[in-house]
Amino acid sequence: RRHASALTDHPVYWTREQRGEEAATWLLFDHKHQYLRETSIRADDRSPLVRAFCVPRHAVDDSPTGERMLLLLALALMESHGIRTVVTDIAELAGTPGFVFDRRRTAITATWIGADGIWYADVTDNRTTVRGYDDAAGYAINHSINDGPSPRARLRAFAEYLQLKWSTLAVRCAELGEWGAAGIAQPRSRLLSVDGFDRACRYLGSVDQRGD
């Protein structure tokens, strides 16, 4: 967040998570959910924010059903904040670090996954680096495996890629979202909350019911 002022244009985000275990942080950590709320303020109907993922086929095949569901819910949480999600399955892009760039001259790299558990963040205006990020994000946007005109279309397409049964999942999420997860699991840490998880469940269930 502290580097956000370095960006001069509408940003595009690249999210490093490829499995549900990694993506669960968006659903359970308060500061991650707050970050989505704050960044979504930049979004509007004409220029929606874009958050890109790379989820190679092998990451799907190696993940149990529960983890694949968590990954889908993480994208549902982002879509609920007006952030358009795009996913590429190109394995060559799997090692791309998490970044945000403004399509002009500045990029912020911020990630811990795959970095020996050490968090690092950096701001760069190196043309080669920024061009590489632009190419990666541009490919994901233009060749998205979950491309669709609406959140429901994008989430349903991603569910199919994850080999999840959309109709059953949508019903279960609607039911769980209505009752909330607090009665099942109540985190004791002040850093954790089920608010993001509940919001994602409600949203996924509601877009299916509305047919958005």
Q: In the chain, what are the domains? A: 4-165 (3.30.870)
How far is the C-alpha of 44 from the C-alpha of 142, rounded, in Å?
20
Amino acid (1-letter code) at residue 172 = R
**Contact present, 173 and 204 (Cβ < 8 Å):** yes
Q: What is the pLDDT of residue 3?
A: 44
Q: What is the pLDDT of residue 41?
A: 79
Label residues 120-129 b or e (16+ Cβ within 10 Å = b): eeeebeeeee
pTM above threshold 0.75: yes
Which residues, other chains included, contact 40 with Cβ-Cβ below 8 Å and sequence gap of 6+?
49, 81, 82, 83
**Contact present, 133 and 98 (Cβ < 8 Å):** no
The backbone torsions φ and ψ at residue 204, rounded to the nearest 5 degrees and listed phi first, read -60, -45
The backbone torsions φ and ψ at residue 11, rounded to the nearest 5 degrees and listed phi first, read -85, 155
C-alpha atoms less than 13 angstroms from C-alpha of 109 in its C-beta half-sphere: 17
Q: What is the pLDDT of residue 83?
A: 93
- pLDDT, one tens digit for every residue, the chain (212 residues): 444 444 456 788 999 999 999 999 999 999 999 989 888 876 666 677 899 999 999 999 999 999 999 999 999 999 999 999 999 999 999 999 889 887 667 888 876 555 455 556 778 888 888 899 999 999 999 999 999 999 999 999 999 999 999 999 999 999 988 888 766 667 777 888 889 999 999 999 999 877 66
β-sheet with 83-88: strand ranges across = 83-88, 49-54, 12-15, 99-101, 107-111, 120-124
Q: What is the pLDDT of residue 115?
A: 46
